[in-house]
Chain A
């Protein structure tokens, strides 16, 4: 699933693209997925809310449109692996100006999560996969 949100100058529109493959075959493609950051923390370095947990819903249909194919992914217990400053090579003074004038301060968080739950629903067949590696 891929989701992005446009800046306020473009109406803060959210675009979501998602698909589900099973055994190498496309089962469902959709633009109706959603992603919600269910837990965040303000990162003082970037000024952005860093995601600690999120839920994604695929909200899809089968290729012939007749059957609901929906996936729910829940992840939590974020272990942040890497933070990349996308404008690292831009001089600091320009970075500050652009951030102040236009709000542009791009960073890339790559996060792994300690806990994951996946539910895949296809009509009345439910396949559930859970991985829980939280320390007990």
Chain B
């Protein structure tokens, strides 16, 4: 969380007893859940993993999602038919967020504009969601991730 006064709050916790649902679209662990709505347009994220960072946020996509190719995969290796591994990226370039994050007992509303990116690294799944509430004027929004 980046605060307007320059304060930064960061939380990273290990997940225990994690698993996916049958469709492999939702994910949960002890004190954590990431659930895709039935109509596939929103994710609800809840976390009590860190008592100083309580999360209850819903991200709803507002434009069509985006991926490259059939499945958004980048394959690694010399044989296209038998890749050593892959990473996968799917984007919700424009979305809205609703809900709150409670930092050290202080509750902050996080309603605003969001982007949501699914980055699946090899065999280790990782959902990356970014909340971004700054909009350029003239109706343009730019997102850049450089790794």
Q: Which residues of A have CB within 8 Å of B117? A: 2
B:113-147 near A, CB below 8 Å: 117, 136-147
Inter-chain contact A3/B136, CB cutoff 8 Å: no
Indicate if B91 sits at the interface (CB-CB under 8 A): yes
Contact of B76 among A10, A82, A89, A129 (CB under 8 A): A10
Inter-chain CA distance A25–B12, complex, in Å, is: 35
Selecting from B16-24, B34-42, B62-70, the interface stretch reads B62-70
Inter-chain contact B138/A129, CB cutoff 8 Å: yes
Count A-B contacts at CB 8 Å: 76
Indicate if B8 sits at the interface (CB-CB under 8 A): yes
Q: A29-B68, A31-B68 are in contact. Are A131 and B144 (CB under 8 A)?
A: no
Report the contact-size class of chain B (Cβ under 8 Å from the partner).
20 to 34
CB-nearest residue of chain A relative to B143? A1
Inter-chain contact B63/A24, CB cutoff 8 Å: yes
Indicate if B48 sits at the interface (CB-CB under 8 A): no
Q: Which residues of B have CB within 8 Å of A26? A: 63-64, 66
Inter-chain CA distance A4–B146, complex, in Å, is: 6
Q: Which residues of B have CB within 8 Å of A89? A: 12, 14
- Tell me the smallest distance from the CB of A63 to a CB of chain B, in Å: 12
Contact of B145 among A3, A25, A116 (CB under 8 A): A3
Q: Which residues of A have CB within 8 Å of B14? A: 89
Q: Which residues of A contact B (CB under 8 A)?
A: 1-6, 10, 15, 17, 19, 21-26, 29, 31, 35, 37, 51, 54, 56, 71, 73, 81-82, 84, 88-89, 110, 116, 118, 120, 127, 129, 131
Given contacts A17-B68, A31-B68, 8 further A-B contacts (CB under 8 A): A2-B145, A3-B145, A4-B146, A22-B139, A89-B12, A118-B140, A127-B138, A131-B136
